[in-house]
């Protein structure tokens, strides 16, 4: 009788842990594109793609186009991409002296991730 209870308890724990793993996946695998207005130096929006891997995590972010100033906005975009990939999160700090670029990047990122949501 004790063995049956232990077996059932162990089975229940395994099932609950699998349910927890399945629900932790935020995004569908794939590549999602979006754009948003940044500093708009050259009249172009920030266009990016976000790659979601099979585990539902952010595995890559690529800037396809932008009109940001190379010295400030361009460098800020590089930093933001690195921060998002390293943290596997859209919750990253804005870059000092590139607030408008940061807001545009984060808006485009959020739009792309909305497309990836389950």
Instruction: Say if 10 falls within a structural domain.
Output: no
Question: Total domain count for the chain?
Answer: 1
Instruction: Say if 86 falls within a structural domain.
Output: yes
- Number of helices (H) and strands (E) in the chain: give both, helices first: 3, 3
Domain encompassing residue 44? 27-116
Sorting pLDDT into bands at 50, 70 and 90, what band is 25?
confident
Q: How far apart are the first and last CA of the chain?
A: 43
Instruction: Say if 2 falls within a structural domain.
Output: no
Instruction: Say if 84 falls within a structural domain.
Output: yes
Across the range 85-112, mean pLDDT stands at 97
Please check whether residue 94 is in contact with residue 79, taking contact to mean a CB–CB distance below 8 angstroms. no
Q: How confident is the prediction for the chain on average, in pLDDT?
A: 87
Instruction: Say if 57 falls within a structural domain.
Output: yes
* pTM (two decimals): 0.78
Instruction: Say if 4 falls within a structural domain.
Output: no
Residue 69: give its domain's CATH number.
3.90.1010.20
């Amino acid at each position: 009788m004790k063995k049956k209870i232990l077996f059932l308890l162990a089975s229940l724990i395994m099932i609950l842990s699998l349910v927890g793993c399945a629900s932790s996946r935020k995004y569908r695998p794939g590549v999602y594109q979006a754009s948003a207005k940044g500093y708009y130096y050259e009249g172009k929006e920030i266009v990016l793609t976000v790659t979601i891997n099979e585990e539902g995590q952010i595995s890559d972010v690529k800037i396809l186009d932008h009109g940001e100033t190379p010295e400030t906005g361009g460098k800020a975009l590089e930093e933001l991409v690195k921060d998002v990939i390293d943290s596997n999160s859209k919750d990253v700090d804005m870059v000092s002296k590139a607030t408008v670029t940061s807001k545009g990047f984060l808006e485009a990122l959020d739009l792309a991730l909305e497309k990836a949501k389950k």
